[in-house]
Chains A and B, each alone.
Chain A
Amino acid sequence: MSAPTEKLTKKQLKADHPTWCPGCGDFAVLASFFNVVQKLGIPHEKIVCVAGIGCSSRFPYFVNTHGIHFIHGRALPLATGISLSRPDLHVFVFGGDGDGYSIGGNHLNHAARKNVNLSYVVMDNQVYGLTKNQTSPTTPIGRRSKTDPRGAIDVPINPMSQLVASGATFIARTHAVQVKHMNEMFERAILHPGFAVVETLSECTMFYPGAFDDGIPRKGGKFDLVDESARDMTSTSEAMALAEETEHAPPGKFGVYLESHRPTKNELENQWLIDAQAKTADLAQKDLLRKRFAAMR
């Protein structure tokens, strides 16, 4: 048994061997998560891994921390419940593009605008993998799948512009083959107070191989970084311009698109608790309820 402040080893953090296919981008995400958690020295029992349904949402089984594997699309509201009711915990949400941008799409907007204090890693592979190759909300037009045998016809979601529009306070974009960059993005997301999301391009080698080759220099692509020194990191219009680049000048830029600060939902709700309890500090909780009854006489 280790003291809470002792640095965690990779062995302590590893759980079941991942059930992902060989070569899946998600392996790198898992390794990166281990690295960052170790580096930041978060107490073992305070880490909570949350996921919905999908290949990447199997994440909690592969990490030896408290974890909860929930239903499809609802990882964010579940994590909101954990984060608000237990501010002592570090809440990490993992999922894919189907879970986060399709069935759970509405929750993304609201978790973002509420600025709930948690870190969210989306492993975007632009395809449904667990159900074996159907069109996903980020599948590019023209790409063939079992549900679009003639090629996808619906305009894909642009996760970056959607996140900017919904009011997220930390938005980053990385690529699972760029381990060093991914580590940095995860670390900054975890340290950000509020809703932090990292859109992580993570290749599905089984159903959509080569999807993100244009972001891999050794395969002829380019990995251009956001030049943070040249821009206002709190500007939503600048972030939106970067988001649009991912469509008009693919593969777009990688890095932090937006980093701004406003009170978290956790702080605002907690302030109400503090104020309400300060007013009634002289009364035990049971007597508070008695007083409530007395007002109904």
Chain B
Amino acid sequence: MSTSTVSSSSDTRKNAVIRLAGYSQDGIQSVGAFLAQLAGSTAQEVMTYMTIPSTISGGPSIFQVHLGSGKVLHPGDEADTLVAFYQDSYDNHLASLRDGGICFYDSDKVEEIKEERGIIHIGVPITTATIEAIGGSAKDRGKNIFVLGMLCAVYQLDRDTISAIIAKKFGGKSEDILRNAMLAFDAGYMWPVHDINHMPMAPGENAGENRISTDGNTMLALGLIAGGCRYGAGYPITPWTTIMEQLRSELPQYGGMFIQCEDELAAVSLAIGAAYSGHLAITGSSGPGLALKAEAMGYASMAELPLIVVNIQRGGPSTGMPTSVEQSDLMQAIYGSHGDAPRVVLAPRNVEDCFYTAFEACRIAREYSTPVVILSDQAIATRIEAFSEPDLDKYWVEPELDIEERGADFKPYPIDQITRHSPPGSRSAEGKYPVVTGLEHDEWGHPSGNPENHAAMTAKRRNKLVKLAESLPEPDFYGDKAGDILFVGWGSTYGPIHEATDMLREAGHKVGSLHIRHIHPLRTDLGNIFKNYTHVVVPEMNDSGVYGMGQLAALLRAVTCDSRIRSINKTMGITFRVSELIDEAHQLLAE
């Protein structure tokens, strides 16, 4: 084993990508989560990436943590350090390690190692060392905490802080569990790793106020609460389920409730019932479940009810790849219903943005009395990032139930205004009560088959979105305002696009990137921005389809009539690597 390529202990590192490869029952997710939490509380940035088998219990699993002193935008193309718990984890993940990287392997389980690419192999008897540390137990639980201790020593992470995090995690359980965890941690920390010098992380540069670390689904759920959402309903489906679990557990404290339903149809219907009753309500699902909700979402467009529908995209179609990421529900989110059924679609770009996107979705749903789809994805939903907690003095809406008496001039569907419903319980001065309906209706809500009325009402429902489009903020822009390449992205491609933009600009190219949260309606002036670049390219995790372009690219072409728009598609169920985008960019530049 070589010792030659490792930096001396006086150097500090600004970035570290650590990949843990084992089985899901080994608790490698919790080690990753500990590291992420540590980063968040020591002004470092972090992004994680994990794969979880879609089997019921067990199966190969990885957790990758990208720690950085400065900004961290993606989970890391290649790992600097790999920890392999088993022979198959070693065999399958050695390729993810960079040339000259470090591979720790459990020498009790991994028997054959491959000397290649200058990789430094360090065998540690993780299994037996853990058993010895904890004291003779035949079980090898605690290996994950042993490894955590070892990594803390190697990267010289803050031992006191991580001990406190472990104590917080296990403190509520029995004393034995906490004692064993600390024993395993200390044993790992003290394990003599002779072959390399330690590689201390540079101090974090992200000393924002009140830094927190968590995953996207949690921030989405909390953004809905901050936005004033108090009622909802759902049905379990991966990876949406954790939002449902959190809302079910947490809404009662806020005087609301979230109901588990018999199916997706009931869930959306129940949420519409709460919306009709005067509350802001939420339902959600992942791709297949969104398809089941489509009819009722069309109703919400027709009846003009505020409704939040969350869709956490996964690999599809059908059951597809439930624990993998894809961005293939964009068209479904915008158009998946029947008839002309306008609705709003927003997409968060990272974990932090899940909160602000959910908050904005609440505002739009209320203000425009419309269904709003929040289109997140598996990658954002499950990964952990660190950032400053939202300022609730700016982002908080106290929900109000408006059941004031409606005056004699009340009309539920005024043709030239946005609908404001009169929820049940509100008295009518005139004694005439409205019926909210999915039949085409006149301004008073009476069913009407009149041709002119249907045209006018269809326009009324569409014009709300036109008005919203006119009020949208400038899209999020980064890099050069004109030049060689414009990347246009949405959702979880934000990090890789941002980093690729940086790297291409450092190499002297003129590159900009535009990240679109407001997927539908789009801002109407995007075409003017596109004109400033030689190439316009849309990286998206969906198929290029029959016509050779991804879903957002197709939409942008239709809207801007700009035939230069191309897409970079990826359908492997994993996020883009920065290097993939750079390679594609170089090909474009060479044209």
Contacts and interface: CB of A to CB of B under 8 A. Distances in A.
Contact of B265 (A74, A84, A109): A74
Interface in A231-273: 269, 272-273
A61 B446 CA distance: 8
Interface string A103-123: 000110110000000000000
B426 A81 contact: no
A85 B435 contact: no
Given A69-B437, A106-B263, A293-B212, A74 B276 contact: no
Nearest to B270: A81
A86 B429 contact: no
A68 B437 contact: yes
Counting chain B CB atoms within 10 Å of each CB, which of A2, A47, A293 scores highest?
A293
Interface stretch (B102-110, B248-256, B471-479, B512-520): B248-256
Contacts of B392: 286, 289-290
B12 interface: no
Given A78-B270, A81-B273, A107 B262 contact: yes
A71 B296 contact: yes
Interface stretch (B49-57, B128-136, B277-285): B277-285
Nearest to A103: B265
Nearest to B426: A45
A106 B252 CA distance: 27
B494 to A, nearest CB: 21
A292 B252 CA distance: 14
A297 B277 contact: no
Contacts of A289: 222, 225-226, 392, 396
Given A1-B429, A81-B277, A85-B231, A296 B389 contact: yes
B299 A71 contact: yes
Given A68-B436, A293-B212, A297-B40, A86 B266 contact: no
Interface in B363-399: 389-390, 392, 396, 398
B273 A79 contact: yes
Contacts of B257: 84-85, 269, 272-273
A71 B255 contact: no
Counting chain A CB atoms within 10 Å of each CB, which of B263, B276, B278, B424 scores highest?
B424
B253 A288 contact: yes
B271 interface: yes
Contacts, number: 185
Nearest to B384: A296
B437 A296 contact: no
Given A69-B439, A71-B299, A16 B446 contact: yes
B438 A69 contact: yes
Contact of B434 (A66, A85, A107, A294): A66
Nearest to B398: A285
A289 B395 CA distance: 11
A69 B435 contact: yes
Interface string B203-244: 000000011111000100010011000010100000000000
B327 to A, nearest CB: 27
Contact of A67 (B40, B211, B435): B435
Contact of B262 (A88, A110, A275, A276): A110
Interface residues of B, number: 68
B424 A66 contact: yes
A297 B42 CA distance: 10
B266 A82 contact: no
A290 B396 CA distance: 11
B212 A296 contact: yes
A98 interface: no
Contacts of B98: none
A46 to B, nearest CB: 6
B231 A81 contact: yes
A133 interface: no
B427 interface: yes
A70 interface: yes
A61 B425 CA distance: 18
Nearest to A64: B433
A77 B268 CA distance: 9
Contacts of A106: 262-263, 266
A72 to B, nearest CB: 8
A89 interface: yes
B176 to A, nearest CB: 24
Interface in B402-449: 422-429, 431-439, 446-447
A95 interface: no
B341 to A, nearest CB: 12
B282 to A, nearest CB: 12
Given A107-B262, A296-B212, A64 B425 contact: no
A291 B314 CA distance: 32
B503 to A, nearest CB: 31
Given A74-B296, A297-B40, A64 B432 contact: yes
Contacts of A277: 252-253, 255
B274 interface: yes
A162 to B, nearest CB: 15
A107 B267 CA distance: 11
A277 B230 CA distance: 14
B261 interface: yes
A80 B259 contact: yes
A158 interface: no
Nearest to A280: B253
A138 to B, nearest CB: 22
Nearest to B41: A297
Nearest to B271: A81
B324 to A, nearest CB: 26
26 contacts: A44-B433, A61-B446, A66-B433, A67-B434, A68-B276, A69-B435, A69-B436, A69-B438, A74-B265, A77-B262, A78-B272, A81-B233, A81-B269, A81-B270, A81-B274, A81-B276, A82-B276, A83-B273, A106-B266, A107-B265, A110-B261, A273-B252, A273-B255, A289-B392, A296-B389, A297-B212
Given A45-B425, A80-B273, 14 more contacts: A65-B433, A68-B273, A71-B296, A71-B299, A74-B266, A76-B266, A78-B276, A81-B269, A82-B276, A84-B270, A85-B279, A86-B278, A107-B262, A297-B210
A-B pairs, 6 with minimum CB distance: A81-B273, A77-B266, A77-B269, A66-B424, A276-B252, A81-B270
